Amino acid sequence: MPERAQAPAAFGSRLTAAIAERGRLCAGIDPHPALLEAWGLNDDVAGLEYFALTALEAFAPVAAALKPQVALFERHGSRGLAVLESLLAHARQADVLTIADAKRGDIGSTMAAYADAWLGEQSPLAADAVTLSPYLGYESLRPALDLAAQTGRGIFVLGLTSNPEGASVQHVGDDRSVARRIIEAAGADNRHEAPEGLGHVGLVIGATVGNALERLDIDLAAAQAPILAPGFGAQGATAADLRSTFGSAWSQLLPTSSRGLLSAGPHLGALRAAAEKSRDELA
pLDDT digits (tens, 9 = 90+) for 110-167: 999 999 999 999 999 999 999 999 999 999 999 999 999 999 999 999 999 988 899 8
Q: Is the pTM for the entire model greater than 0.85?
A: yes
pLDDT at 194: 78
CA pseudo-torsion sign 34, 40, 45, 49: negative
Q: What is the pLDDT of residues 242-270, one digit of tens each?
A: 999 999 999 999 999 999 999 999 999 99
Q: What is the pLDDT of residues 211-232, one digit of tens each?
A: 999 999 999 999 999 999 999 9
Spell 256-272 as b/e; 16+ CB within 10 A means b: bbbebbbbbbbeeeebb
62 assigned to some structural domain: yes
6 assigned to some structural domain: no
Compute the distance between CA of residue 11 and CA of residue 141 in angstroms, rounded to an integer: 17
1 assigned to some structural domain: no
Across the chain, what does the average pLDDT equal?
Answer: 95
Of the listed 32, 90, 92, 103, which one is catalytic? 103
How confident is residue 7, by pLDDT bands cut at 50, 70 and 90?
low
Task: Provide the residue range defining the domain that includes 210.
Answer: 11-281
240-258-36 Cα angle (round to 5) = 150
Task: Please give the tally of structural domains in the chain.
Answer: 1
pLDDT at 8: 79
- Of 25, 85, 9, 12, nearest to 279 (Cα)? 25
pLDDT at 236: 80
114 assigned to some structural domain: yes
Active site residue 103: yes
Say which CATH number the domain at 264 has.
Answer: 3.20.20.70
How confident is residue 4, by pLDDT bands cut at 50, 70 and 90?
very low
How confident is residue 6, by pLDDT bands cut at 50, 70 and 90?
low
Q: What is the pLDDT of residues 61-89, one digit of tens each?
A: 999 999 999 999 999 999 999 999 999 99
Bin 43: left if φ > 0, else alpha if -120 < ψ < 50, else beta.
beta
What is the mean predicted confidence (pLDDT) over 24-46? Answer: 98
pLDDT at 175: 87
What is the mean predicted confidence (pLDDT) over 18-24? Answer: 97
pLDDT at 1: 44
H or E element in which residue 279 lies = helix 268-281
Per-residue pLDDT at 171 exceeds 50: yes
67 assigned to some structural domain: yes
4 assigned to some structural domain: no
Q: What percent of the chain has pLDDT over 70?
A: 98
2 assigned to some structural domain: no
270 assigned to some structural domain: yes
